[in-house]
Amino acid sequence: MLRAGLYARVSTNDQQTLAMQNRTMREYATRRGWTIAMQVREVNSGAAKREARERILEAARRREIDLVLVWRLDRWGRSVTDLLATLQELEHLGVGFVSLTEALDLTTPSGRAMAGLLAIFAEFEREILRERTRAGSAHARQNGKRLGRPATAALHAPEIRKLHRAGVSKSEIARRIQIGRTFVRRILGTKS
């Protein structure tokens, strides 16, 4: 008998569907003859850290469950890339994955074929993101924006040395130039 871990998630403004997700997944697991080894619920936005999802993944890593059952794919993954990464981890662990709404069952050959298609879409999503990043960087450069890390205290090295030769203390140099004393000491090559 397979041990199922049930994962339900709703956003903070959609809490009424949580009970429906749980009831539907419990009924499905019963029909399939699975034992419900754990059931976790999460209420948060998609961007928040998903601690309950991590608990179910930890149970999979400890071999406490044989499959993960979710109501819908978008309840499990934050993006196609995130979805694929977790599905690959579950597959590596020998833990099945079933999404009820999409009738996606990765314990079957057709389900694993669907996971292959997800991998293609994840790569497509990554490539689109790369292209957008490159285009945004090129646009910013064309408009005269400086990219990368902000200028460091090293740009102030000549002024720091000049003030130091004039007898100004390191603390006072740091205050005047508005940089940290550590940077002043580093530029001057001293430890105190």
Instruction: State the sign of the Cα–Cα–Cα–Cα dihedral 15, 17, 23, 25.
Output: negative
Is 11 designated active site? yes
CB of 186 closer than 8 Å to CB of 173: no
CA atoms within 13 A on the CB side of 159: 13
C-alpha to C-alpha distance for 3 and 24, rounded to whole angstroms: 17
How many Cα atoms within 13 Å fall on the side-chain side of residue 80? 16
Catalytic residue among 11, 99, 169, 171: 11
Q: Nearest CA to 73 among 34, 103, 49?
A: 103
- Closest C-alpha among 183, 107, 117, 91 to residue 99: 107
Nearest to 184 by CA among 167, 163, 18: 163
Known catalytic residues are 11
